[in-house]
Amino acid sequence: MQAIVRSSLVATLVFQAFTFPTAIADTAKPVTEELVNTLTQLSGGPHPGFRANHAKGVVAEGHFTPAPTAAEITKADIFNHSNPVIVRYSNATGVPNIPDNDGGAFPKGIAIRFQLADDAIADLVCISVNDFPASTPEEFLGLLQAIAASQQSQAQPKPIETFLEQHPAAKRFVTTPKLLPESFATQSFFGVNAFKFINAKGETQYGRYRIEPVEGAKFLSADAAKAVAPDYLMHELPKRLNQAAYSYRISVQLADAGDELNNATVIWPESRRVVELGTLTIDKFRPDGAAFEKTVMFSPLNLVDGIEASNDPILLARPGAYSVSFSRRIQGR
């Protein structure tokens, strides 16, 4: 069991294993700062100028075209009008050069910035797994600290193994296989948290985002996944865009009465209604993406009228942690 958990952790969790001294958390610091500190430790950092998580990325551009059904769910401008978008894809971990096919590079991420009139913006941030390992920032920090404490621990079971046995959602997350996509263009993405959607009639519904390739999700075989180059996803994207655009369908999975709205570890049944919001078309690689992404902070709480945050504590903590990481990044530390 220990070998299975350990290999699965390295293969599927969002952090790479390194050998370095285990840090002791400063409980006087906000949990959002401790999250960034521990992520930095787990990546062998700091890596000046890079994100504490999802450090390795690539940037493209395109546009969003609304579906007629979007207005049923929300009055938000981002989903009821055509808008230009900037998209950043990324690997997990704070390791800037982590191989794209490394198990620690999961989940993959997508951050979409809608560029609106009068220089307004709105962001949509999702990952490649319809799941999350923790329901609160404190629980997530506990998971990270258990990983860190296991690096040099001779204890049996190791702290991370004990943590996973005590936290079934985290164990499910790290032991669920994550398939390697042929391309970022063939990867589906999911919203970790629920949002409140309000339409023009004032009707409200809660839902989670889904972003699915129009041509269908496509993954590499096990043998092909082992053979690809370390930067294959980052290099494949500009080559693909030199030939043709590609598209995703952005939808929202709606909660039923009684569904848990504020717990990211609870996966809603596939029987829940899914409503299409529109089509995201990516048609241009951004050659200055490396410079651009260093100066931009995407946030799931960059919202517009017609979309509001739920009370999910993970969602409410994300901008704070991102801000700590962003502040350090722009200061080059």
CA distances from 177 to 10, 135, 180 (A): 12, 21, 10
288 burial level (CB within 10 Å; 0-12, 13-18, 19+): exposed
DSSP symbol at 184: G
Q: How far is CA 287 from CA 32, 61, 155, 183, 329, in A?
A: 32, 10, 48, 18, 20
Could you tell me the mean pLDDT of each successive run of 10 residues in the chain, 333 residues long? Answer: 33 34 54 97 96 98 98 97 98 97 96 94 97 98 96 91 97 94 98 98 98 98 94 98 98 97 98 98 96 95 98 97 96 90
What is d(CA 149, CA 146) in angstroms, rounded to the nearest whole number? 5
220 three-state secondary structure:
coil
Max Cα–Cα distance, the chain, nearest Å: 60
Collapsing DSSP to helix, strand or coil, 127 comes out as strand
Domain that holds residue 213: 2-330
d(CA 4, CA 6): 5
Amino acid at 275: V
**C-alpha dist (Å) from residue 84 to 91, 246, 292:** 24, 15, 16
The per-residue pLDDT for 152 is 84
Tokens of 27: 């409980």
Number of domains the chain is built from: 1
- Residue 225 corresponds to which amino acid? A
The C-alpha angle 243, 249, 253, rounded to 5 degrees, equals 160
Give the Cα separation of 324 and 34 in Å (integer): 10
- Write down the pTM of the prediction: 0.91
Q: Quick check: helix, strand or coil at residue 319?
A: helix
Phi-psi region of 300 (alpha: psi -120 to 50; beta: other; left: phi over 0): alpha
- Give the pair of three-digit tokens for residue 224: 């092909």
Calpha distance 146→169 (Å, rounded): 15
CA distance 110 to 128: 8
Query: What CATH number is attached to the domain comprising 263?
Result: 2.40.180.10
